[in-house]
Amino acid sequence: MEEKNTNTISPETAKGWIEQGETALGIELGSTRIKAVLIGADHSPIASGAFDWENRLENGVWTYHLDDVWKGIRGAYRALAEEVKARYGTVLKRPGAMGVSGMMHGYLPFDAEGNQLAEFRTWRNTITEQEAAELTSLFQFNIPQRWSIAHLWRAVKNKEPHVEKLHYLTTLAGFVHWKLTGEKVLGVGEASGMFPIDSDTKAFHAGMVAQFDSLLSEQGISWRLSEVLPKVLSAGEPAGTLTPEGAKLLDPTGELEAGVPLCPPEGDAGTGMAATNSVSVRTGNVSAGTSIFAMVVLEKALSKVYPEIDMVTTPSGLPVAMVHCNTCTSDLDAWVRLFGQLLEAAGTTLSKSRLYELLYHQALEGEPDCGGVLSYNCYSGEPVAGLEDGCPLVTRNPDSALTLPNFMRAQLYAAMATLQMGMELLFREEQVALEKLYGHGGLFKTKGVGQRLLAGALNVPVAVLETAGEGGPWGMALLAMYRKNRQPGETLERYLEQKVFQSAAGSCEPPRAEDTAGFASYMKRYRAGLIAEREAAKALK
């Protein structure tokens, strides 16, 4: 069956949805792009807008300035609103619902007056190794370095001056939602990247909160953790409405009206699950862009703590095993740009999409083990691989076959290598069974290539829906539409299955034996060569 898309929706129908408030708006702040997507009553995208941005490395900390947050959000929304006018001849005044998502984790502290107390410390920072280990030991629950609580504990231990003034700690999505609505809340999936969630109560784990409060008492801190964290909400719950001030922040032209209901703000992991219908047990998805992570909805709790595996939740609170790796396509993108510059120097050009397509398909012509070519794509530390710092590195033996196909295949393998290391623990140690994984994100934009190679790498069928290119912003819009249309007792899982994905089209690539064997050979060399990557990062830091 064919998936519904904008090609089958008449402009008149879409215009009617827009003017009658039968739409939902999703905004996602990704690592390199802020994107807004407007969907119609049939859940398909009818308009979108985007704004490119980059993180900064300042004083050893990866960060974004909050002024850039608003510049980017306004830019993405403006582009969407202009598309609505151009395509449908009407003005977007009041979406039926909306929601905000962003990069998970990180550290955004504010005082009682709402002033920012420290730079936004993003998920990319690997500066909390000791603190994360201490909390993991205390809670007997894996606390990754990028989680908000690890950053908070580091600030407390280091007696940073702002800690005593701390009144509210949130994430990027939580910050934007707060400024749009005045509500200090988080969706449960996003909250699970701040502090452990109790899946029974769908709230921050009370016992662990008490344990952390004891640490605060020992440090002489007067406030308690529950006083500074957001309120946790599940998908579909009311999370406030757009205030007049929030509407002005988003759309300074004044065309956007206040009063739009918002769903709980979520993280990019949760929106990826929604966008791929991977919110039920025995489902999973891989989000592959600037970072790469896999989400597997579990039937039962893991038997022990794994430093390589995070425990988070779906937007409705089901437990999820998450394997997160800091770098995926950044180095791959850099090489594609380099080849583009070579073409320009030779007096010719290719469009960005055509260049990616050409180079990705070269990878399929490469030897299954890359002919001995080995690539490390680490732009920052990579806890899954035990790397404190990153240093992009390409190496090979003198007799390796350095060809363009082998080189490009090695680049794609590098984007998947650390993910495979974490997933192998789930498959081998926990006997987690998956019928298939759903892929979405930039790695899958070139049809069939990343999908096929990831299937071989993980030895699991990988499906890509035709909506996969819409990614997280579309997933956020779906969560907003669920907030708008939810019927009493209707679960998120049922809503997505029956009302969004029932007729969705896509393709599924089974693992090929030669790819699986070739990737296994590549990984043997990759693991052996980690010592070189580690020393290179140390020497060149």
CB-based contacts of 47: which residues, under 8 Å, 6+ apart? 37, 38, 80, 83, 84, 87, 88, 92
Longest dimension (CA), the chain: 67
Given this model, what pLDDT does residue 458 score?
A: 96
Tell me: pLDDT of 3 over 50. Answer: no
Q: If we measure between CA atoms, which residue out of 535, 510, 244 comes closest to residue 386?
A: 535
User: Percentage of the chain with pLDDT > 90?
Assistant: 83
Tokens 């215009």 correspond to: 15
Angle, alpha carbons 489-494-500 (nearest 5°): 125
Listed in order, the ranges of the chain carrying CATH 3.30.420.40 are 277-326+422-509
Radius of gyration of the chain, Cα coordinates, nearest whole angstrom:
23
CB 250, CB 77: distance < 8 Å: yes
Bridge partners (DSSP) of residue 100 are 27
| Lookup: tokens for 193 | 């990247």
The DSSP secondary-structure symbol of 500 reads I
Q: Write out pLDDT tens, residues 325-383.
A: 988 999 999 999 999 999 999 999 999 999 999 999 999 999 999 999 999 999 988 98
Q: How far apart are CA 290 and CA 472, in angstroms?
A: 13
Nearest Cα to Cα of residue 402 among 377, 374, 378: 374
Nearest to 357, CA basis, from 454, 291, 446: 446
Q: Does the structure show a pLDDT above 60 at 6?
A: no
Q: Residue 239, exposed/middle/buried by CB under 10 A (0-12, 13-18, 19+)?
A: buried
Do residues 132 and 144 touch, judged by C-beta distance below 8 A?
yes
Cα 409 to chain centroid, rounded: 24
Model pLDDT, residue 505: 79
Asked if pLDDT for residue 1 goes beyond 90, the answer is no
Lowest mean pLDDT among 76-85, 243-252, 435-444: 435-444
**For all residues of the chain together, what is the average pLDDT?**
94
Alpha helices, DSSP H, located in 21-141: 66-88, 129-139
With a cut of 50, say whether residue 2 has pLDDT above it.
no
CB 64 within 8 A of CB 120: yes
pLDDT attached to residue 469:
61
* Fold of the CATH domain 277-326+422-509: Nucleotidyltransferase; domain 5 (3.30.420)
How far is it, in rounded angstroms, from Cα 213 to Cα 155?
Answer: 15
